[in-house]
Structure 1
Amino acid sequence: MDSPDLPWQSGSTIDAIAHLTRSEIMLPHTRHSAEAAHVHRSEQLLNPLQEWVTSKPSPLAERPAEHAPSGRVGKRQVEDIRAITTMFRDADNRHGGALSRRAVIAQMSDATAMLDSCSYTESTSRALFSAVADLGSVAGWMSFDAGLHKSAQRLFITALHAAAEGGDRAVGAHILQCMARQMSHLDHYEDALDLVALAQYWARRQISPATSSMLASLEARFHAILGNLDDSERAAGQAEEIFDRIDPADEPAHMAFFDAAELSATIGVAHQIAAKKSHGSHRARRAEKSLSLLGHALSLRPEHRVRSKAFDHLGFARTHLTVGEIDGAREETDTALTLFGSISSKRVADRLAELHDEAEPFIGNPAIAHMRSSIGHAVSSATA
């Protein structure tokens, strides 16, 4: 798939996922940053995705047994796919995306084969597409975490098509926010903000409080990066207000990650970014808010969210550095490096590299010189 545009028919979606998963399983493991140069962006990405906003699932008839050599698929098989998806999400949180990405893509290929070769009812077909879409979001996320940006975007887009075929706007909004985070990671901040807006518009009638709060928190972060500090504070306040309406029992499984810790961390990073763009008392106030929120996030993080804790400590370090607190920056960086040593995540490596660059004005300080040397060694060893 060389373009983000695909025909909006179920057969095309099945063929595209089958082709993609076959090729991805054979893809050599690589973290070449040149991948980032090949992602679609701006109108090339967003214009085709606008079709998703107005698309409706293709008409699907029940697939009779005589045309399905591989047997009958029902609710149990769909639940099995969802259980596998949960398992891979947990592995990603604990260890990073690189270790399991091929396995999850292989599972995605097997699940897609059910759509192509089994018999099922129309409602089961929708559920299968939805389950494949959610599994695809994990495959794309793992690829993103491994630094395979073109592969990640291809997986996200095919998963988005599967979500459309399944009529699952909630999963579709989730995939769009994953794509927004990828665009932000690659410094395409306007695209990231547009993808959040697209998710908010598309899922507006099916959006859960957790999804709405998460999208608002991302909006706060992206506005802060773009220097829209008033808009950032408005969105952060909206995210916090909506979060109070969440009932975890009513939330879809893919939103389980967005808890009080994740909200605090996302908004805390938004305040950290805003502090960098502020001066005087405004900088001090925003830095203090950032530290408070990041501390709250860390106090709530489950032990298995290792990568998230590494990001939290990096947020701490960058906030300390913003206000010239050298000892705090060094201590938090040491903790982040320890956590980084136990996972495989190119995203964390990229954030460490950013901290390395941000610390350059303080290089005359021996503690900072040592910190930058430690970052350089850790990142070089991980990406060798």
Structure 2
Amino acid sequence: MKQLDPGASPQEWFGNELRQLRTAQKMSARVLGRLVQVSDDMILAIEKGKYPSCREDVAKRLDDVFKTGGLFQRAWPMAFGSRDADKKQRDADKTKGESGDVPVQVRSGRILSSDEVPTRPGSEPMYRRSLIQVGGIAAVAPIGLAQEFTRSSPAIPTAIRPSHIAQVSDVATAISGWDNRFGGGGMISGIGSRAMQWSAGLLQAECPAALRPELFAAVSRLGIVVGATEFDAYEHDDAQRTFKFAADCAEEAGDWHLRAKTYSFLARQAVWIGAPDDGLTYAEKGLVRSDRLTATEQAMLHTARARAFGKMGHARETMAAVGQADDAFARAQPTEDPPWMAYYDAAQHSGDTAHALFDLAILANQDPGRAARRFSTAVHGHTDAFKRSRAISRTKLAALLMAKGDPRQAAHIGHDALDEVGRLTSRRAIDDLRQLGSFAAKHPKIQEANALRERIGATVSV
């Protein structure tokens, strides 16, 4: 171990205190990392005084584990607070100069290591931490679970029973339904983070060998759902950590279906944040041993490949991937899919592939009709249970028509999209509206386009 000098810096003092407590309890960095939901590498880096910006919520988790009475949280401003504030200011300054459009980032084929050590998900950031009222949670979860997850520190059982696994699965289903109807922001963020913290803690409890695969699969499923809410709320670092944690759990459970779903989300997120090459790599990793996946899951991953190629403006590769996705979906048998794949129906497939074709129309001047027809199918096929997907497809259809078709028709569809997005807490849906507004601004002489742009501006501050 590196010998620390507690007087050398506030970071080394913080790290020395952490190491002393951990070693006194004969606890490994890996075990501690799981308890506070960060990687063992992060724990070791903090102990060495080498981690640049430990989050305050991690300091609080350390206090909870070691029962320090708030030692680490009190020391956090001295050790890391100024650095965290500096980073936020730099990020804010950077954001001021950015436009609403996300630039395409094309990399030179970087291979993501298959043996990289994924970090565990952190708990909710300070600004998301709040006391959730029982009445709010009861709207999405059974009352027993609502009471459990309003406690500040839900108790971790000493031994796992089937009822604990059922709780994790029920909460995942409830959060997924809320997310699809209303988006990933707002109240749902606090519920998801707290549920993730408790569920990850279950992995440290004594568990019969026969239940271990079910437990890891349930936690993986919850991780996918919580990661999706974080992605939708633009908590991208948290989302990526949570997705990778979910992939870890899926591997431990030996569940190829959950593994495929985690890589599908990692691919979609990478494409969204402007890293399509990474998105393509994640999608390809998800397709490893595709013979073990259902046709629906194969379609989902080929769609992710198409979206990556589309964002890079590669027409031939995009069309080929869309064709592979269509072929796989044509073979789909819903009875073969896990229950949580039921969302991927004809409407979802149409909307997802339309996104790839949209990018071809905008970036590579390809035929916009293909994307428009698929977006229209998605809009008419999504039920109220998937309001966010319907709103996003409607917004993208309006944007496509505004850029490549009839601006007046686009404005009419855009107002309908605004009506729906206004009831969501989805940052993705709002950013799509901003893009629609930028396209509308290119038609200054068309009254309908101007009216739509002004309404978007008043609603989402284009």
TM exceeds 0.5?
yes
The answer as to whether partners of 1:209 and 1:246 remain within 8 angstroms in 2 is: yes
C-alpha change, 1:73 and 1:46, in structure 2 (3 Å) is farther
Offset at 1:149? 1.3
Equivalents in 1 of 2:176, 2:219: separation in Å?
Answer: 14
Q: Which residue of 2 aligns with 1:309?
A: 390
Q: Which residue of 1 aligns with 2:57?
A: 23
Q: Which residue of 2 aligns with 1:250?
A: 336
* 2:350 partner amino acid: S
Task: Return the index of the structure with the highest Cα Rg.
Answer: 2
Kindly provide the CA deviation profile for residues 204-228 of structure 1, in whole angstroms up to 9, marking residues without a partner as x.
2422211100111222222122121
Q: Which of 160, 178, 202 is 2:247 aligned to? A: 160
C-alpha change, 1:265 and 1:47, in structure 2 (3 Å) is closer
Equivalents in 2 of 1:17, 1:334: separation in Å?
Answer: 46
Offset at 1:231? 1.4
Kindly provide the CA deviation profile for residues 251-310 of structure 1, in whole angstroms up to 9, marking residues without a partner as x.
12332221110111112222222222455xxx4xx3222222222222221112111111
Q: Does 1:114 align with 2:195?
A: no
* 1:189 partner amino acid: P
Which residues in structure 2 correspond to 1:80-95 (within 5 Å)? Answer: 80-95=167-182
Q: Aligned with 1:361: secondary structure?
A: coil
Q: Which residue of 2 aligns with 1:64?
A: none
Q: Does 1:296 align with 2:377?
A: yes
Equivalents in 2 of 1:225, 1:183: separation in Å?
Answer: 11
Q: Which of 229, 235, 242 is 2:321 aligned to? A: 235
Higher normalized helix content (fraction of residues): 1
Q: Which residue of 2 aligns with 1:184?
A: 271
Structure 2 gaps of 5+ residues are: 1-27, 39-55, 62-87, 95-105, 118-155
The answer as to whether partners of 1:144 and 1:152 remain within 8 angstroms in 2 is: yes
Structure 1 gaps of 5+ residues are: 1-10, 54-68
Q: Which moved more, 1:232-241 or 1:217-226?
A: 217-226
* 2:457 partner amino acid: G
Q: Which residue of 1 aligns with 2:444?
A: 363
Q: Which residue of 2 aligns with 1:8?
A: none
Q: Which of 48, 51, 56 is 2:115 aligned to? A: 51
The answer as to whether partners of 1:24 and 1:102 remain within 8 angstroms in 2 is: no
Q: Which residue of 2 aligns with 1:318?
A: 399
Q: Which residue of 1 aligns with 2:21?
A: none
Equivalents in 2 of 1:209, 1:70: separation in Å?
Answer: 39
Equivalents in 1 of 2:378, 2:442: separation in Å?
Answer: 29
Kindly provide the CA deviation profile for residues 300-359 of structure 1, in whole angstroms up to 9, marking residues without a partner as x.
211121111111111211221232311121111111111111110111111112222233
C-alpha change, 1:353 and 1:333, in structure 2 (3 Å) is same
Equivalents in 1 of 2:322, 2:424: separation in Å?
Answer: 30
* 2:263 partner amino acid: L
The answer to which structure, 1 or 2, has the higher relative contact order (CA under 8 A, 6+ apart) is 1
Equivalents in 2 of 1:52, 1:167: separation in Å?
Answer: 18
The answer as to whether partners of 1:356 and 1:375 remain within 8 angstroms in 2 is: yes
Q: Aligned with 1:362: secondary structure?
A: coil
The answer as to whether partners of 1:108 and 1:135 remain within 8 angstroms in 2 is: yes
The answer as to whether partners of 1:275 and 1:322 remain within 8 angstroms in 2 is: no
* 1:368 partner amino acid: A
Offset at 1:167? 2.0
Offset at 1:132? 0.7
Q: Does 1:140 align with 2:204?
A: no
Q: Which residue of 1 aligns with 2:459?
A: 378
Kindly provide the CA deviation profile for residues 68-94 of structure 1, in whole angstroms up to 9, marking residues without a partner as x.
x93442334323321221111000011
Offset at 1:25? 12
C-alpha change, 1:14 and 1:367, in structure 2 (3 Å) is farther
* 1:103 partner amino acid: I
The answer as to whether partners of 1:13 and 1:161 remain within 8 angstroms in 2 is: no
Q: Aligned with 2:385: secondary structure?
A: coil
How high is the sequence identity, in percent, across the aligned residues? 23
Which residues in structure 2 correspond to 1:345-356 (within 5 Å)? Answer: 345-356=426-437
Q: Does 1:149 align with 2:214?
A: no
The answer as to whether partners of 2:313 and 2:364 remain within 8 angstroms in 1 is: no
Offset at 1:14? 6.1
